[in-house]
Amino acid sequence: MQRRSFEGIEEIRVETLGELVDRTTPSENDPASGRLRAASVFRGSKCSEWALLTSLDRLGGIDPPHTKGHLEEHILRNFIRYSRPHLQQQPANEWELLVTAQHHGLPTRLLDWTYSPLVAAHFATLGGDPALDRVIWRLDWGKLHARFDLPPIAFLVQELDELLRKRGIDSPWTLFSQPERGQDHLVCMLDPPALDNRIVVQAAAFTISTDKTRSFDEILRENGLLGALTRYVIPAERIDHLRDQLDLVTMDERRLFPDLDGVAAEMRRYYDASAEE
């Protein structure tokens, strides 16, 4: 996967789950609630050198990435064509359709995040090359919205629709056909509807950008927003320790994929472990 320099982004080494919780806990109370809350989301990655690439960015390979972005419209059209028998209810609008497609694994320009650093840690430590350091990215989306002159809320799909219509984007199809680096460039947070139990228990969130030609970290760099990112790096030799701590607090497949597939996946991984000879 694409590797790049992350110079200018704060990087913190964490070796235990306790350190991760301490490091991601806000240092000051939120003025509105008086509690330790912040406008932060997290994303776990199985390699500390990977850039923040969407599933659409990665489609067709990552050396280089972004080679299949021109197929975005065709991919979503075919999802619409074949998904209808499997949808329990029709999406409220086409932006909800895009979220539904992303949630079920379709390559899109949406980038997955979670409000929980523990959920991000689960995905960062699940499988992968044991020789590679892992990373949990933190995004201060409050700074992101301030930079793009947006209100300090993560948008619902209906609010995203209203926001983009004011900017001349009345549907995903209009967005797909726009120039990649126009003057009205926009990046924002999106809170998805509760499509199923999985999206709820994973505390899922997304970012969406009008630019699909650069990685998310590169977009932030070019907009002077590297200060909105933090990288919590888990060294390779501490992955198993932190993974075991996640299992102790039941942050596992059975909790995050609440169905029979999740139960089976957790049992398979848990009982596959064995001591080194």
Q: What is the pLDDT of residues 145-178, one digit of tens each?
A: 999 999 999 999 999 999 999 999 999 999 998 8
The helix (H) or strand (E) run that includes residue 13 is: strand 10-13
Residue that wins the pLDDT comparison between 62 and 225: 225
pTM of the model: 0.94
What confidence score (pLDDT) does residue 273 get? 87
List of residues 6+ apart from 103 with CB closer than 8 A: 192, 195, 196, 198, 199, 204
| pLDDT above 60 for 182 | no
Nearest to residue 112, comparing CAs of 52, 34, 158? Answer: 52
> What are residue 213's phi and psi, to 5 degrees?
-105, -5
| pLDDT above 50 for 277 | no
Q: Is 203 left (phi over 0), alpha (psi -120 to 50) or beta?
A: left
The C-alpha atoms of residue 52 and residue 57 are separated, in whole angstroms, by 9
What confidence score (pLDDT) does residue 5 get? 73
How many Cβ atoms are within 10 Å of 92's Cβ, its own excluded? 14
Percent of the chain with pLDDT over 70: 96
Nearest to residue 192, comparing CAs of 277, 70, 102? Answer: 102
